[in-house]
Structure 1
Amino acid sequence: MAQSVSCNSCAYYEDHIANSTKVAENAGLCRFNPPVTQPEPNARGLWPVVTASDWCGHFSTETRN
């Protein structure tokens, strides 16, 4: 059986609260890249929000040092 390569099985996926302190249904944060900056100078950066079934070329079953 082939392994799923979707975000929810990636080592860099965090499935609890998406940026707004609300739990987003079927969504989480991608922790592979740093947070994305916002257009306002005083705004904090936000982690990209992805759905559990999304995927990308950075998929990893283990975190790398």
Structure 2
Amino acid sequence: MSVHSEAACKKCTYFDDHAANGQHADAEAGLCRFNPPVTQPEPDSHGLWPIVAKSDWCGHFETGTTVN
């Protein structure tokens, strides 16, 4: 098993498998809660959490209790 599959988003503390940004739940994706929501171009729009695939990975991976 590769290092990347061991550190996949689905196993990360910061992964949230709730419905992506208020939309329908996606079985293969979720929200990354490491950074704050991304701002939108319209001043009165809400920020959105980045959507990531469960198999994605990054350098912020942290094991432990999950948010979801």
Name the TM-score class by shorter chain. Answer: 0.7 to 0.9
**Which contiguous aligned blocks of 4+ residues in structure 1 show a shift greater than 3 angstroms?**
none
| Length-normalised TM-score, structure 2 | 0.82
Question: Residue type of the partner of 2:36?
Answer: P
Question: Residue type of the partner of 1:58?
Answer: H
CA offsets, 1:19-53, max 9 Å, x none?
Answer: 13311230000000000000000000000000000
Matched residues in 1 for 2:19 and 2:28: separation? 11
Between Structure 1 and Structure 2, how many residues are aligned?
Answer: 63
Matched residues in 1 for 2:27 and 2:11: separation? 16
Matched residues in 1 for 2:28 and 2:2: separation? 22
**Consecutive unaligned residues in structure 2, runs of 5 or more:** none
Q: RMSD between aligned alpha carbons?
A: 1.8
